[in-house]
Amino acid sequence: MIPVYAGTHVRDAEAKLLRDANDLTLMRRAADALAHQAVVMLKEDTGRLYGSRAVALVGPGNNGGDGLFALASLAKRGVHTTAVLLGAKAHQEGLAALSRAGGRTAAVADLDELLEDCDLLIDAGYGTGARPGLQLPAIPRDIPVLACDLPSGVDSDTGAAIDSVIPADRTVSFGALKTGLAVGSGHLVSGSICVTDLGLGAALPEPEAWVVQGDDLELLLGREEDWSAAGRHKYQRGVLGLLAGSAKYPGAAVLTARAAVAGGLGLLRTLVPDAVATALTTQVPESVPLATPELTALLARNRRNEREGAARIGAWAIGPGLDDNEDTRKHLAQILAANTPCVIDAGAFSMLEPGEHHQLRILTPHAGELHALLAKAGVRVSSRDIAADPIRWARWAAVAYDSVVLLKGPSTICTAPDGYTLIVHASTPDLATAGSGDVLTGILGTVLAAANLPATPTNKDVVALGHRLTDLAAAGALIHAHAGALAAHEGTVSAVDLLQELPRAGRDLTFLDGSIVRMSS
């Protein structure tokens, strides 16, 4: 997992380590890393270094200082370098270093002409010290851009970006990975990111979040638990209840069911309207329908079994394609009252109330749904506000609904009510496809059902279980993202393509048999 820090916290940590305002130790390290990446990009793009042309946008602060020292280093290696000064002032020692190395400076008015013959643009305009109201020049799309610390126009704490942000092909982030590069628009415009260690170590506070990667999956799923004990019996392998689908959206229930089964679930019990039942039995013959009268008896039996330590339905997946009507409200109330761990999505949100409860819940909204959930909890915030600071608003919802929130987007954010946060990057923009969320709900249902979580957490273990649930949510998102990458590699990323890639995704990331549930030999 890669720790993520708010940009202003990194800036504070840098300031703590400096002996005085003239101490250039960290800046020189940062500039060396920037120059190194510039060399790599110039060689990749032009096949040479000597005689190539680099232009840097240089802001008035330390970000500009980094750019000037990096340009000086390139100039010494035979690159034609020009610093375009964005403000009335610029870093003095940086300017002197550039001049000594033979580089030159120019005004913003000269930028267009300079860019006509330019192999690399270094964006050293504004970094962690940027304030609202930046004015940035327009940069043609075809020029390779290397961002110094972060693309100018990105908020290093939130990932919000102004319209005139300068998108980068590569970003060198100094000291740590900043939140603004890990989520929101900042993540989308930063290209590939290299983190340079400046030795900030103990000067940094606790990370704000962690970005999880493929090889974190086993840790997230909780290998330290005795997964091998599961698997001898279908009930131990995980039993998932599914409340989903409507006459209008029958496919959503089918996709969720197919994803759950593809994940290696022991048994799927489905509570769906008549209009969906036939499609479900035909397309997911492994599923076992659950008739309405049976539900009450089953939930009661579940409670008895819980006391005996062998719950029959280990988790519920609720919501894909669900209609808000009297029947579904009744079923939902019954299921929620039984306190079995559940993942709640889409159509169920309109029937969900904020407030405390005694159940392990993962809510999986996209930004629009989060907006509606927050509005119901009395928090007035637009979808645009959510996109500008997704971690903040996901955390608000986690508190308001006493649940883990998995906020879908280019960076999926999984956060517990106490603020523990994991980030999963989408493997491909094509994952934002119809039915993709239904597949994710199915995967999460299987992960939950197999995890053998307690139905009613006590106050004592509520924080630890919140973290466990967040880990599981991130595990599901990771498998989903990897299935997306595999499907994209084959050409298309429809929900059905995702389903087909699920076993391979599980196999690649961890388990030998490709199922989310680990089988004993």
Of 74, 130, 374, 517, the residue at the interface with ligand NAX (CB under 6 A) is: 130
Please give the residues from 458 up to 477 whose contact with ligand NAX meets the rule CB under 6 A.
none
Q: Residue 27, interface with ligand NAX (CB under 6 A)?
A: yes
Helix (H) or strand (E) holding 286, with range, is: none
Which DSSP string corresponds to 437-452?
HHHHHHHHHHHHHHTT
Q: Are 75 and 103 in contact (CB under 8 A)?
A: yes
Q: Residue 148, interface with ligand NAX (CB under 6 A)?
A: yes
Of 3, 60, 214, 454, the residue at the interface with ligand NAX (CB under 6 A) is: 60
CB of residue 367 to ligand NAX, shortest distance in Å: 26
Q: Nearest-5° angle of CA 8, CA 402, CA 397?
A: 50
Helix (H) or strand (E) holding 319, with range, is: none
Rounded to an integer, what distance in angstroms lies between the CA atom of residue 437 and that of residue 492? 16
Rounded to an integer, what distance in angstroms lies between the CA atom of residue 458 and that of residue 472? 19
Q: Residue 18, interface with ligand NAX (CB under 6 A)?
A: yes
Of 63, 73, 246, 515, the residue at the interface with ligand NAX (CB under 6 A) is: 63
Q: Give the number of residues written for the chain.
A: 521
412 known ligand binder: yes
How many other CB atoms sit within 10 Å of the CB of residue 80?
Answer: 18
How far out from the chain centre does Cα 487 lie?
19
445 known ligand binder: no
Tokens of 463: 């924080």
Q: Residue 14, interface with ligand NAX (CB under 6 A)?
A: yes
Please say which residue, 120 or 424, places its beta carbon nearer to ligand NAX: 120
Please say which residue, 85 or 351, places its beta carbon nearer to ligand NAX: 85
DSSP 342: E
Q: Give the CA dihedral 406, 407, 413, 416, nearest 10 degrees.
A: -40
Query: In this chain, which stretch among 12-20, 180-188, 284-292, 446-454 interacts with ligand NAX, using CB under 6 A?
Result: 12-20
SS3 content of the chain, % helix, strand, coil (to 5): 45, 15, 35
Please say which residue, 13 or 495, places its beta carbon nearer to ligand NAX: 13
Rounded to an integer, what distance in angstroms lies between the CA atom of residue 397 and that of residue 389? 13
Please say which residue, 62 or 328, places its beta carbon nearer to ligand NAX: 62
Q: 100, exposed or middle or buried, with CB in 10 Å at 0-12, 13-18, 19+?
A: exposed
Q: Residue 73, interface with ligand NAX (CB under 6 A)?
A: no
Which DSSP string corresponds to 37-71?
HHHHHHHHHHS-STT-EEEEEE-SSHHHHHHHHHH
CB of residue 151 to ligand NAX, shortest distance in Å: 11
Rounded to an integer, what distance in angstroms lies between the CA atom of residue 401 and that of residue 254? 28
Please say which residue, 69 or 420, places its beta carbon nearer to ligand NAX: 69
321 known ligand binder: yes
Q: Residue 157, interface with ligand NAX (CB under 6 A)?
A: no
Of 66, 216, 369, 430, the residue at the interface with ligand NAX (CB under 6 A) is: 66
Of 133, 285, 378, 491, the residue at the interface with ligand NAX (CB under 6 A) is: 133
252 known ligand binder: yes
Q: Residue 149, interface with ligand NAX (CB under 6 A)?
A: yes
Task: Please report, in range form, the residues annotated as the binding site for AMP.
Answer: 408-412, 437
Query: Which segments are annotated as binding site?
Result: 252, 321, 366, 408-412, 437-438
Binding residues for (6S)-NADPHX: 252, 321, 366, 438
Q: Give the interface with ligand NAX as residue ranges (CB under 6 A).
A: 11, 14-15, 18, 26-27, 30, 59-64, 66, 126-131, 133-134, 148-149, 174
